Structure 1
Amino acid sequence: MDSVYTDVGQARKAVEQHLARACAWVDMGGVLLVVSELVTNAQRHARGQWQLRVQAERHRVRVEVSDSVPLPPRWRPGKLDGSGGWGLRIAEQCADTLEVLTSARGKTMRAQWLHPGRTGVAVA
């Protein structure tokens, strides 16, 4: 999914529809919250253009949001005045893993959820 063709709400709806068919075991609320936070961060801090990829397998769900800014995100304290700082912390708490992958072309925020019965499975 690409920011040129969709917005945060459409991204959430598409992810929900896909995962409802492909991975009923995943915590849908957590996944959708992470999608919202990562896409919103890309819109706010990375010139607004992003790509969303979702991979659903029997033992894992992976969500990736990529943008063209190679700098890793800044982890800052959350503030109660509405100025932000909570998104990455929320994503980190909702997903089993949250990674930042950087390259000269940009960065990818990767969140993963492992099937509860498969926590000992190695993932790459």
Structure 2
Amino acid sequence: MRPRFGKPDLTAGTSCAQARETARRLLAEQDIPPVLTDDVLTVVSELVSNAVRHAGGVTGFQITVQTGQVIVEVSDGSALQPHLRPSSPDTPGGFGWRVVKTLAPSTFVRFNRNGKTITATIPTS
């Protein structure tokens, strides 16, 4: 079994700032390099802000460091699948899901009776 270092779930109403601070502390404790920390914090920010903006808010947040990867899980109460929006010079935003999928190529959505959980895995090497 690989070593796991995680932070317990943050509950409903977690803000981007709270989620980033939780991630920042865990990553610092595990000596994750600054470049990788920036990528993880970007994924955290995008997933949490999308949950707040499009899904009624965060219902759970978990970050785990394992050998070779950092796993970010964000839950919300929406049953809607995230999707890529077409780029438009007239509409701001719309890049979050594309950024997440680029930085965390192994990202999947798990639906449950209370909404969904997005799990984004960022490789550390």
TM-score by length of 2: 0.80
For residue 24 of structure 1, the aligned residue among 20, 26, 32 is: 32
1:34 has 2:70 as partner: no
Once residues 40 and 95 of structure 1 are traced to their aligned partners in structure 2, the CA distance between those partners, rounded to angstroms, is 16
Deviation at 1:23, TM superposition (A): 5.0
Letter in 2 for 1:22: Q
Question: Are 1:93 and 2:102 counterparts?
Answer: yes
Specify every segment of 5 or more residues in structure 1 that has no aligned partner in the other structure, as ranges.
117-124
Q: Which moved more, 1:6-15 or 1:61-70?
A: 6-15
Contact persistence 2:11–2:60 (CA under 8 A): yes
Q: Kindly state the Cα deviation for residue 109 of structure 1 after the two structures are TM-superposed.
A: 1.1
Equivalences for 1:1-124 in 2 at 5 Å? Answer: 1-4=10-13, 6-25=14-33, 27-116=36-125
Q: Segments of 4+ in structure 1 off by > 6 A?
A: none
Alpha-carbon separation, structure 1, partners of 2:79 and 2:99 = 22
Q: Which residue of 2 aligns with 1:120?
A: none
Is the CA contact 1:64–1:111 (under 8 Å) kept in the aligned structure 2? yes
Instruction: Point out the more displaced range, 71-80 or 25-34.
Output: 71-80
Q: Which has the higher strand share?
A: 2
- Describe the superposition over 1:70-123 as per-residue Cα deviations: whole angstroms up to 9, x where unpaired: 22123211334453210000111112411111123211111102332xxxxxxx
Residues 54-85 of structure 1: per-residue CA shift (max 9 Å, x gap): 11122321000001112212321133445321
What is the CA-CA distance between 1:10 and the residue it aligns to?
A: 2.0
Give, in whole Å, the separation in 1 of the partners of 2:45 and 2:91. 16
Corresponding residue for residue 119 of structure 1: none
